Amino acid sequence: MAHPKLATVLVGALVLTAGLAGCGAPGATTATRSPTPTLPFAFGAPTNLGPGINTLGFDGGPSLSADGLTLYYISERDGGSGGGDIWMATRPTPSASFAAPGNLGSTVNSPGDEGAPSISHDGLSLYFDADPSRPGGLGSGDIWLTTRASVSAPFGVSSNPGDPVNSQYADGFPSISADGLALYFASDRPGGSGDSDIWVATRGTTAEPFSVVANLGPVVNSAATDVSPTISADGLALFFASDRSGTMGVLDLWVALRPTTASPFGPPINLGPAVNSPADDLRPTPSPDGSTLFFMSRREGGLGFFDLWMAPMRRQG
């Protein structure tokens, strides 16, 4: 029998093609793609975050605070409220290891599965997804939001942003931009190119709700499964996972680049064999200073079903 996370669509920071089969928009047009640019990043060998963070079960969906000292992620470890909960681990410096995590509690977690946390730049808003068993959802997986008054305060009761961020379909993997004005996410709603596409919701100010949702289009999205987006701190690189043509494993890590935040993203580039494995690799998340790529993987050498990994990265060229 498949692991429960494999059967949960866009929840628990894991999406597999089978969970979204047949949900893409029929007749989606195919754009003429520009030549693929050279990967502007060099990566060192990935290392496992170790038994203080990873368990024998599911650990994934990393998101880092702006100072790089707090890690939010999903774990099925003992002490949670449900199947997969959001946990938080801290460290004293960016070069130190993370300490044992703490559960964010019942205002955030539910008896069901939560996934894919994304912490805002100011540390006051946490976006995440949850399965349809959570009361108040609109579809087969929704994006949720919890806020707090200060970074030392606990997070409050979570709320559903509603339409147009969520739909009657599967919406998940939120990633909030550093300025708080763009929310990237994955969805199998109509209007996409494939099984699951990457979309973006925008707003004029952080005091307003998200009011406009747009598909990133066929230059970024494919006819396959495109999920797990994370926008870089400067807004110029969109990391995500896909099983599109050119993938080396089951789901690979990719990046789409743009010269300015007002420009469209260019053709995605595979992050290559230094980072990707023959297994599932998802939720690529660069540290705010761009020195480390955090991600989740089922590769050999892990402790459990999914583990958190990190690889040193630097700009090149």
Domain CATH number, residue 245: 2.120.10.30
Specify if 80 maps to a domain. yes
Between 153 and 24, the more confident residue is: 153
pLDDT at 22: 26
Specify if 30 maps to a domain. no
* pLDDT band (50, 70, 90) for residue 225: very high
Domain count, the chain: 1
Specify if 40 maps to a domain. yes
pLDDT at 34: 54
pLDDT at 37: 76
Least confident of 21-30, 150-159, 161-170, 285-294: 21-30
Gap between the Cα atoms of 69 and 246, Å rounded: 35
Q: What is the pTM of this model?
A: 0.90
pLDDT at 29: 35
Q: Kindly report, residue by residue over 38-55, the tens digit of the pLDDT.
A: 899 999 999 999 999 999
Residue 153 Cα distances to 68, 103, 104, 147, angstroms: 18, 14, 11, 10
pLDDT at 103: 97
Asked if 238 contacts 220 with a C-beta cutoff of 8 angstroms, the reply is yes
Specify if 262 maps to a domain. yes
Task: Give me the amino acid identity at 236.
Answer: L
Specify if 176 maps to a domain. yes
Specify if 285 maps to a domain. yes
Q: Kindly report, residue by residue over 14-37, the tens digit of the pLDDT.
A: 333 333 222 222 233 334 455 667
Gap between the Cα atoms of 180 and 111, Å rounded: 29
- Is the pLDDT confidence value at 72 over 90? yes
Q: Which domain holds residue 269?
A: 4-21+35-315
Between 317 and 250, the more confident residue is: 250
pLDDT at 209: 97
Between 117 and 1, the more confident residue is: 117
Specify if 274 maps to a domain. yes
- Is the pLDDT confidence value at 127 over 70? yes
Specify if 235 maps to a domain. yes
pLDDT at 7: 31
pLDDT at 82: 81
Gap between the Cα atoms of 205 and 182, Å rounded: 10
The Cβ of residue 127 has, within 10 Å, a number of other Cβ atoms equal to: 23
Find out whether the peptide bond into 35 is cis, omega within 30 degrees of 0. no
